[in-house]
Amino acid sequence: MTKAALIKKLEAAYACEDYFPGVLGNPVTFAARWGLPLSKSYLKYKEQQLRASKRRRPALEIKKNGAAKGHRRTKVL
Amino acid sequence: MRFQVLADGEPRPVELVFGGEQDLALVSRWRAPVASEARPGVRDTMEFARLASKRWRYYRRSIATATSLDGLKSILSREPRAEVSLLLLVRGDWFDRSSVLGLAQCRRTYCHNLILEFLSVHPAIVAGAPPKVRGVGAGILYSLAELAGTVGAPLVWGEATAYSAQFYAHNLNVKKITDHFFIRGKTLEGCRRLFREKIGGIA
């Protein structure tokens, strides 16, 4: 097989790597399931991540009262 | 077992071997590139490497541990219902950052199935630092299917997360993966074929 053909085959076989998240599984659930302690630095990192996501969350929308009312009032008889 | 990965678009050989205590020392020296240290995937892979070491050491005290294919076969012939722990490593001498590019912690159950407990790739590869390496994660999965076939295990199964479900779906050519995956029957055969025919795999 030529090198070019091998590269083509590998590229096709590894196309799914675009979806590879780096690790398969979740460190936190894995640690919890097996009773393993997460490292202090990781816990600190997760805490920072949580704080940052809270900061990014948009403030509660304040309901507007609608379009400004005109000065003239319709007299209701 | 051997297969090829792509490093900066060039094919490079890697080896899938059974790991032991000494290899875990290499994994503990995995470092992420400074610029991408805080990226979630990178942090997760570092943490997984640590957890893998802890889990492997725990298994070593509690169940049989195979450090070679012959060792695995020998354990199975002596005790067919044994639970066996396997640490599989992807090694490549050409990778400057570490000789270990990725790892998978697996367990052979008493039913003779393989569980992929977790899979982790070197943080520099996850971060996309040069050289850009592709194929370690998928290669491990295909090699695991080949290993299952070699020892006659009918099923490889594991947990999928919201982040990894898409990867499994594409990799295994399945429409939808929820929180678990099963590689068996035609899917297992397909993965083994990919290993042998597409990624230059040699068992």
Give the closest of A16, A24, A26 to B170, CB-based: A16
More confident residue, B113 or B45: B113
Instruction: Look up residue B184 and give its two tokens.
Output: 């068996």
pLDDT digits (tens, 9 = 90+) for B83-115: 999 999 999 999 999 999 999 999 999 999 999
Q: Give the pLDDT band (50/70/90) at residue B155.
A: very high
Which chain B residue has the Cα nearest residue A19? B167
Give, in words, the CATH class of B2-198: alpha beta
pLDDT digits (tens, 9 = 90+) for B47-89: 988 998 999 999 999 999 999 999 999 999 999 999 999 999 9
Closest CA–CA distance from residue A56 to any residue of chain B (Å): 17
CA distance B193 to B30: 32
Cβ atoms within 10 A of the Cβ of B123, count? Answer: 27
Structural domain of residue A47, as residue ranges? 9-56
Question: Does residue A77 lie within any of the structural domains?
Answer: no
Question: Does residue A37 lie within any of the structural domains?
Answer: yes
**Contact with chain A for residue B124, Cβ under 8 A:** no
Q: Cβ contacts of residue B44 below 8 Å, gap of 6+?
A: A21, A22, A23, A26, A27
Which chain A residue has the Cα nearest residue B193? A13
Q: Give the pLDDT band (50/70/90) at residue A22.
A: confident
Instruction: Look up residue B105 and give its two tokens.
Output: 């912690």
Question: Does residue A61 lie within any of the structural domains?
Answer: no
Question: Does residue A64 lie within any of the structural domains?
Answer: no
Total number of domains in chain A: 1
Strand runs labelled E in B53-109: 64-66, 84-91, 100-108
Describe chain A by its helix, strand, coil percentages, rounded to 5.
55, 5, 45
What are the boundaries of each domain within chain B? 2-198
Chain A residues with CB-CB distance to B54 below 8 A = 36-37
pLDDT at B11 over 80: yes
Average pLDDT of the residues of chain B: 93
Chain A residues with CB-CB distance to B187 below 8 A = none
Chain A residues with CB-CB distance to B101 below 8 A = none
A-interface mutation test, from B14, B39, B48, B114, most A Cβ less than 10 A away:
B48
